[in-house]
Chain A
Amino acid sequence: MSTPPRVVLVDDHGLFRAGVRAELDGLVEVVGDAGTVGEAIECIVEKEPDVVLLDVQMPEGGGVEVIRGVAPRRPAVRFLALSVSDAPEDVISIIRAGARGYVTKTISGPELADAVRRVAGGDAVFSPRLAGFVLDAFAGQEGAPPEVADELDQLTAREREVLRHIARGYLYKEIALRLGISAKTVEAHVSAVLRKLQLSNRHELSRWAVQRGWVE
């Protein structure tokens, strides 16, 4: 990595921003932070960072609103959602708005920096939990005949395998080693899954989030 990625932090808790700033110190270049949706849009448009670390839940629309405000004006800026919430509907909505990944706030500093670098490089970042969500949402159609569903509406066997490893807590390079593919291929699979997550018409994607917890 030649130059560290430039990052803007968006979170309505000042204390949390300060904590993340300290943790990322020296690993990435934090060029700005913001505590409200309006401030965030202004700051991002002005600073044009590589990656925005974005809180999902904020007053006045939250992270989704920030992405909507910035995307048309600065399409090159990438977003990584960082949240305490692990409610499926929050995760899915921010990913569908265009975030390149989702990590929870309990992530360690070096891991977060690594995730930021990967998002800056154009890859997707899936936490184990997000991988679990996706597997859950796309579950139950492995045997379905391909003509029934749009190809965006299902995962390939390989993508499924990669996700399963992420959910089990493996890093990309470990997954590459285990599956005998290159790390780049792993990243390509993950990006493909992210695209499907954003574009798929599976009505289960929205409904499943609600139904989860009523299994059986």
Chain B
Amino acid sequence: MVTVSETQPAPLRRDRSKGVLGGVCAGLGRRLGIDPLILRVGFVIAAGAGGTVVILYALCWALMPAAEGDGRPLMARAVGRRESWMVASGLVLLMLAVLLLFRAWGVWVGDAVVWPLLLATGGGALIWRQSQGAAVVDAPVRERARPGGGAGLPRRVLRLARPSLAIVAVGAALIVGAALVFLWLNGALVPDRDVTLAVLVVVTAMTLILAPWWLRLARGLTEERSERIRTQERAELAAHLHDSVLQTLALMQKRAEDPREVAALARRQERELRAWLDARPRREPGASLAAALEAAVAEIEDAHGVPVELVAVGDRRLDERAEALVAATREAVLNAVKFAPRAAISVYAEVRGERVEVFVRDRGPGFDLDAIPADRRGLRESVLGRMERHGGRAQIHTRPGEGTEVELVMSA
């Protein structure tokens, strides 16, 4: 069974059910695919360093829509209209007012940090919003999943989203601006000042701008790879069904007038399909007693179009004696097929330590054991004789009208 993980990026929503405060970190973490704990720790550390982050958190809380509810941010709901540029600019002004208020109160880390940080956050938000949108557009045309092997085969369309250039440009400009402002405010633009700081800031800005694409690319590659694997699986499944089931069905249509042949074909196909679905390692008929019995029964079913039910408990190595047992079983089943046509045949084999027992039972007419002429070699020679030669024994239980059971015992 192929399981398909739906990896559509979650929309940016506050997750109040998993959140500690307002669910901002939980929501961000879900969107970015990282542990919210990391974000929380980051927030707390930053909050300890200066009060600005608290404001940032509050803003996020107000602006991010909650996962539940009407899906609109708190602010938008408060304003009572849909999000528009008016609301946005209003919010920016509001935020500015709050910031200036804090600045006047002295709860402030310093101009050199707050303003660039604000710009960078704005720019980053714009770019990330664009690029995280839809790396892969899912169109899961999912057939009904059949348990037990028949895989539901979803089809997916891989399409790269086209981010709006204008918004990305504004975002990038904001980030670069933030970097420049930061450098300028720290005096790093003046020659001979801290070059390391300048390089660091530039690298940070570039990372902020490029990271979304890099992430998207990585995710796209993973998607493509699993897509390829799925396609291969599908092709393999189709090939198998073609070679086996469809062939058999075609044959059965041709032989429709011969019920025995049809039954045999259906039975053989069923066995083959089961073996394939089970995905067990194929047991070679020569490998073990149970496998050899399976093969012998299958061969008789195919040749005579009679269903034979085999139940095997335990297993053992196929040595010379076990081979003799299999041959005797084969003969007993053939005998049942011959003298009890149309009757159900069951074979039960059980291995207990060194002792192996096989029962071949049919619900046919049964017969009078003593009335069988001595020259009828079938049962006598190939079953009884063979077992005795290999140190085992065989018994036939039958009476007219009661079916027949051949009991074969081989013990060390």
Contact = CB atoms under 8 A, between A and B. Distances in A.
17 contacts: A57-B147, A59-B144, A85-B148, A87-B277, A87-B278, A90-B148, A106-B307, A135-B350, A136-B314, A139-B352, A142-B352, A167-B348, A167-B350, A169-B363, A213-B283, A216-B287, A216-B288
A167 B290 contact: no
B316 A216 contact: yes
A136 B311 CA distance: 10
Contacts of A132: 311-313, 348
A85 B270 CA distance: 11
Nearest to B407: A168
B148 A129 contact: no
Interface of B: 144-148, 274, 277-278, 280-281, 283, 287-288, 290, 307, 309, 311-317, 344, 346, 348, 350, 352, 359, 361, 363, 405
Judged by DSSP, the binding face of A is: loop
A213 B278 contact: yes
Given A168-B359, A213-B280, A139 B147 contact: no
Contact of A62 (B147, B348, B361): B147
A53 interface: no
B314 A139 contact: yes
7 A-B pairs closest in CB distance: A169-B346, A132-B311, A215-B315, A213-B280, A168-B348, A168-B359, A135-B313
Interface of A: 57-59, 62, 85-87, 90, 106, 128-129, 131-132, 135-136, 139, 142, 164, 167-170, 213-216
A194 B57 CA distance: 60
Nearest to B282: A213
Interface centre among B277, B287, B346 (most CB of A within 10 A): B346
A216 B284 CA distance: 13
Contact of A128 (B283, B314, B316, B346): B346
A12 B329 CA distance: 39
B309 A129 contact: yes
Contact of A57 (B148, B274, B350, B359): B148
Contacts of A85: 148
Contact of A169 (B145, B348, B352): B348
Contacts of B315: 215-216
Given A129-B309, A129-B311, A169-B309, A164 B278 contact: no
